[in-house]
Structure 1
Amino acid sequence: MTYALICASHNDEILNANLARSPMITEGRVPLHLQRGATSAAVAYNRAIDTTDADILIFAHHDVYLPRGWEDLLTRRLREVAAHDPNWALYGPFGVGLDASHIGPVWSSSIGLIVGRVPTTPAEVQSYDEMVIVMRRSAGLRFDEALPGWHMYGTDIVTTARTCGLHAYAGALPTIHNDRYHDHLRDDFVQCYTAMRHKWRDHLPLRTPIIKISKSGLHLYKNRWQDYRSEKFRANMSVGINHAPEYLASICGWSDLTASA
Structure 2
Amino acid sequence: MKIKPFELSSSYHQSMYQYEFSVFTLVNDQDQYEKLLNSFNKAGFNETNSEFCYLDNRDKNAYDGYSGLNKAIHISKGQYIILIHQDVRLEFDNINDLRQKIQEIQAKDNNWAVLGNAGGNNDLGEKFIRISDSANKNLSLGQIPAKVLSLDENFILLKSSSQITFSNDMNGYHFYGTDICQQAVFKGYSCYVIDFHLLHLSSGNKDQSYIDGKKRLIQNYQTKLSPRFLRTTTCRLFLSGSRLFNLLFNQKDLLFILRKTKIYKLLGRKQ
* Greater gyration radius: 2
Question: 1:148 & 1:181 partners in 2: Cα distance?
Answer: 18
Question: 1:179 & 1:166 partners in 2: Cα distance?
Answer: 30
**Per-residue deviation at 1:124?**
0.3
CA RMSD of superposed structures (Å): 2.4
Residue of structure 2 equivalent to 1:14: 32
One-letter code aligned to 2:99: T
Q: 1:36 aligns with which of 37, 53, 56?
A: 56
**Per-residue deviation at 1:119?**
3.0
Q: 2:113 aligns with which of 89, 92, 96?
A: 89
* Structure 1 residues 160 and 24, CA gap change in structure 2 (3 angstroms): same
**Per-residue deviation at 1:96?**
1.4
Matches within 5 A, 1:92-131: 92-100=116-124, 101-109=126-134, 111-117=135-141, 119=143, 122-131=145-154
Tell me which of the two structures has the higher relative contact order, counting C-alpha pairs closer than 8 angstroms and 6 or more residues apart. Answer: 1
How many equivalent pairs are there?
A: 200
Q: Secondary structure at the match of 1:200?
A: helix
Q: Deviations over 1:167-201 (max 9, x none)?
A: 0001211111011674xx32211221111111223
Question: 1:40 & 1:177 partners in 2: Cα distance?
Answer: 20
Where does structure 1 lack aligned partners over 5 or more consecutive residues? Answer: 205-261
Q: Secondary structure at the match of 2:66?
A: helix
One-letter code aligned to 2:89: Y
Contact 1:19–1:63 (Cα < 8 Å) also in 2: no
Residue of structure 1 equivalent to 2:177: 154
Fraction of identical pairs, as percent: 20
Question: 2:204 & 2:110 partners in 1: Cα distance?
Answer: 38
Q: 2:71 aligns with which of 44, 47, 50?
A: 47
Q: Deviations over 1:57-103 (max 9, x none)?
A: 00000000113652211111111111111110001111113434222
**Per-residue deviation at 1:54?**
0.6
* Structure 1 residues 180 and 171, CA gap change in structure 2 (3 angstroms): closer
Where does structure 2 lack aligned partners over 5 or more consecutive residues? Answer: 1-18, 227-271
TM-score (norm 2): 0.67
